[in-house]
Chains A and B, each alone.
Chain A
């Protein structure tokens, strides 16, 4: 029964989700919302499992003085601080003027923004590796990337127009970097993206069908 009950629930919910897309009549029109609510409720309850797991592992690490146990102290203190302050003030999540809101705005948000900002540096290092002209394909990628990057900034068009003006060369609109970038994005890139998306969509349909029918059971801990 440990496997059968989840399989039955999955099958029922899965089929209802498919049916409600085509049948707008009651009760199918409401089932989608009900199941989503149930998932949210289960997810919200399960968050305690995660939080307790994090605390247990962190306390264990500090207690046994395992490697890098100092970081676990920061986790425990941060967790305790945010929970106490979060429950201590205000009626709703992030009530303005509460200590929790202060922590959110002046500690959490800048920390998140810092992590997100790191992306710029990682994009630079990844681009440096990806755009090396090692072979024909990589060279094509490099050329495409050059035009897309220069075409996305106003200075690209201005530069080409200026240089062309200096040597009295007439430049048609179609060969301006911005136009080339748009063409690459709208045709070559869009075609490739759509091909991948069709594959993904079919993969999702196939996987969903396998899960709903109980053919795929690996996610339940068995094949």
Chain B
């Protein structure tokens, strides 16, 4: 009886562990021995050839790119199911499994290399059969070992050369026009209705004896839109100080509050009324998007400002605030660089600074030659983009696709 139990136990142990071992080894290595059932004849794929390894270009190091020509058995219904990439630091030593790619793929990037270490690679073409998720058999054919290869960081990302050229062109255009402006050349800037109406809005608030509300958006000082909005605040605050009208700036970020305080204080000094400045004019509300919107809505409804400015980065809260402002009949001027929010502001506000107009405001309002020069440089870049679009449309229409390829940033 005891002997029977021992035998039964032994067979159960052998069977279960045999299965487990076969399963584990089939996942990590690739020989005909690592199978559960019998491997059918003539299923081993032909090895891959032309395996090439090289340092992954245009990166910060730590990556090697492996290319290979597909096995001739790699076709639909062929003998290749996947390719497994193996790596070692010694061609005669052990190779570790890095991962696999499906059949039809001839490239793999090893993103886990250490710079200046020599690596060797081989690619295994794998054929296997599974049933109900269980591996029945697996065979593989290893390529020749290639290497050594080392990864390293590059000093320039050549995939971004087009962006570099574009940036240089824009910067150069801006520099040239700044120099022209400094030399005293008169630069024409078209009228921007939204900025022309700043005086009108402040004047109206003065006449009505009500306050001005200035909302600088919900992003922090690391956003250019916020910087642009804060820049306009200086001008609005100065006019408000001259007219002796109360301007209130509720902010959504602490750093914006600190900056806005400084700007409003300076504006009051410039207007010759430093004593009229009150610390509480600029205050913090909350970092929370809808909490901020709720607080602004509450202020609008309770205090009924005569003029409201929305200048900066806005998201879903834009319409909530602008419609509330519209409902009390305030004159509203908005400006944002968020294309998705512009329609809401256009629908609800009296004037809207669309896109680049927000960023042009500083130059437009101050009329400082160097700032105006940068605007003209920006226009030149825009003209260049316009010409590129027209040339691109014509060339694409005639089937010449190289031109548009230049504008593509590889890897983005």
Q: Which chain A residues have a beta carbon within 8 Å of chain B's beta carbons?
A: 18, 21-26, 29, 39, 42-43, 46-51, 53-54, 57, 60, 67-68, 71, 111-112, 115-116, 118-119, 122-123, 125-127, 129-130, 193, 196-200, 202-211, 215-216, 218-223
Given known A-B contacts A199-B382, A216-B231, A126 and B263 have beta carbons under 8 A apart:
no
- Contact present for B254 and A49 (CB under 8 Å): yes
Given known A-B contacts A22-B160, A197-B355, A207-B227, A218 and B263 have beta carbons under 8 A apart:
yes
A25 to B189: give the CA distance in the assembly, Å. Answer: 42
**Which 7 A-B pairs rank lowest in CB-CB distance, beginning with the nearest?**
A203-B359, A50-B254, A50-B284, A203-B356, A115-B290, A221-B266, A199-B356
Query: Contacts of B228 on A, CB cut-off 8 Å?
Result: 203, 207
Give the dominant DSSP class at B's interface. helix
- Contact present for A221 and B156 (CB under 8 Å): no
Question: Which listed residue, B230, B231, B377, touches A206 by the CB 8 Å rule?
Answer: B377
A67 to B299: give the CA distance in the assembly, Å. Answer: 12
B358 close to chain A: CB less than 8 A: yes
B234 close to chain A: CB less than 8 A: yes
A43 to B252: give the CA distance in the assembly, Å. Answer: 12
- Contact present for A206 and B316 (CB under 8 Å): no
Query: Contacts of A29 on B, CB cut-off 8 Å?
Result: 60, 153
Query: Contacts of B227 on A, CB cut-off 8 Å?
Result: 207, 211, 216, 219
Question: Which listed residue, A49, A68, A193, A203, touches B284 by the CB 8 Å rule?
Answer: A49
Given known A-B contacts A57-B283, A220-B262, A122 and B323 have beta carbons under 8 A apart:
yes
Q: How many contacts A-B (CB < 8 Å)?
A: 195
Question: Which listed residue, A122, A199, A207, A222, touches B355 by the CB 8 Å rule?
Answer: A199
- Extra contacts, 4 of them, besides A197-B339, A218-B235 (Cβ < 8 A), are A126-B322, A126-B344, A198-B385, A206-B359
A202 to B316: give the CA distance in the assembly, Å. Answer: 24
Chain B nearest Cβ from A114, distance in angstroms: 8
- Contact present for B354 and A116 (CB under 8 Å): no
Question: Which listed residue, B254, B294, B346, touches A115 by the CB 8 Å rule?
Answer: B294
- Contact present for B337 and A204 (CB under 8 Å): yes
Query: Contacts of B377 on A, CB cut-off 8 Å?
Result: 206
Give the dominant DSSP class at A's interface. helix
- Contact present for A22 and B60 (CB under 8 Å): no
Given known A-B contacts A116-B290, A119-B320, A24 and B154 have beta carbons under 8 A apart:
yes
- Contact present for B153 and A26 (CB under 8 Å): yes
Query: Contacts of B356 on A, CB cut-off 8 Å?
Result: 199-200, 202-203
- Contact present for A219 and B284 (CB under 8 Å): no
6 pairs, A vs B, C-beta closer than 8 Å: A53-B283, A68-B302, A206-B375, A207-B227, A215-B178, A215-B374
Query: Contacts of A42 on B, CB cut-off 8 Å?
Result: 255
B235-268 interface with A by 8 A CB criterion: 235, 251, 253-255, 257-259, 262-263, 265-266
Instruction: Kindly specify which of B68-76, B82-90, B131-139, B167-175 makes contact with the partner chain.
Output: B167-175
Closest residue to A112 on the B side, CB-wise?
A: B290
Query: Contacts of A118 on B, CB cut-off 8 Å?
Result: 320
B308-358 interface with A by 8 A CB criterion: 316-317, 319-320, 322-324, 337, 339, 342-344, 346-348, 354-356, 358
Given known A-B contacts A115-B293, A196-B354, A200-B337, A122 and B320 have beta carbons under 8 A apart:
yes
Question: Which listed residue, A48, A49, A53, A223, touches B366 by the CB 8 Å rule?
Answer: A223
B128 close to chain A: CB less than 8 A: no
Closest residue to B263 on the A side, CB-wise?
A: A221
Question: Which listed residue, B234, B254, B255, touches A218 by the CB 8 Å rule?
Answer: B234
Given known A-B contacts A46-B254, A111-B290, A112-B288, A204 and B224 have beta carbons under 8 A apart:
yes
- Contact present for B153 and A203 (CB under 8 Å): no
B371 close to chain A: CB less than 8 A: yes
A60 to B283: give the CA distance in the assembly, Å. Answer: 13
- Contact present for B153 and A122 (CB under 8 Å): no
Query: Contacts of B368 on A, CB cut-off 8 Å?
Result: 223
Query: Contacts of B170 on A, CB cut-off 8 Å?
Result: 202, 205-206
Query: Contacts of A219 on B, CB cut-off 8 Å?
Result: 221, 227, 230-231, 259, 263
Given known A-B contacts A25-B155, A209-B374, A221-B266, A203 and B360 have beta carbons under 8 A apart:
yes
B18-66 interface with A by 8 A CB criterion: 58-61
Query: Contacts of B178 on A, CB cut-off 8 Å?
Result: 215
- Contact present for B290 and A203 (CB under 8 Å): no
Closest residue to B115 on the A side, CB-wise?
A: A26
A48 to B258: give the CA distance in the assembly, Å. Answer: 12
- Contact present for A210 and B355 (CB under 8 Å): no
A142 to B154: give the CA distance in the assembly, Å. Answer: 54
- Contact present for B370 and A204 (CB under 8 Å): no
Closest residue to B380 on the A side, CB-wise?
A: A202
B271 close to chain A: CB less than 8 A: no
Query: Contacts of A68 on B, CB cut-off 8 Å?
Result: 302
B298 close to chain A: CB less than 8 A: yes
A115 to B294: give the CA distance in the assembly, Å. Answer: 7
Chain B nearest Cβ from A149, distance in angstroms: 14
B395 close to chain A: CB less than 8 A: no
- Contact present for A223 and B255 (CB under 8 Å): no
- Contact present for A49 and B258 (CB under 8 Å): yes
A110 to B263: give the CA distance in the assembly, Å. Answer: 36
Question: Which listed residue, B58, B167, B285, touches A24 by the CB 8 Å rule?
Answer: B58
- Contact present for B231 and A123 (CB under 8 Å): no
Question: Per-residue 0/1 for B150-164: is the Cβ within 8 Å of any A Cβ (1 yes, 0 no)?
Answer: 000111110010011
A122 to B154: give the CA distance in the assembly, Å. Answer: 52
Chain B nearest Cβ from A175, distance in angstroms: 26
- Contact present for B375 and A25 (CB under 8 Å): no
Query: Contacts of B259 on A, CB cut-off 8 Å?
Result: 219
Chain A nearest Cβ from B385, distance in angstroms: 6
A60 to B278: give the CA distance in the assembly, Å. Answer: 14
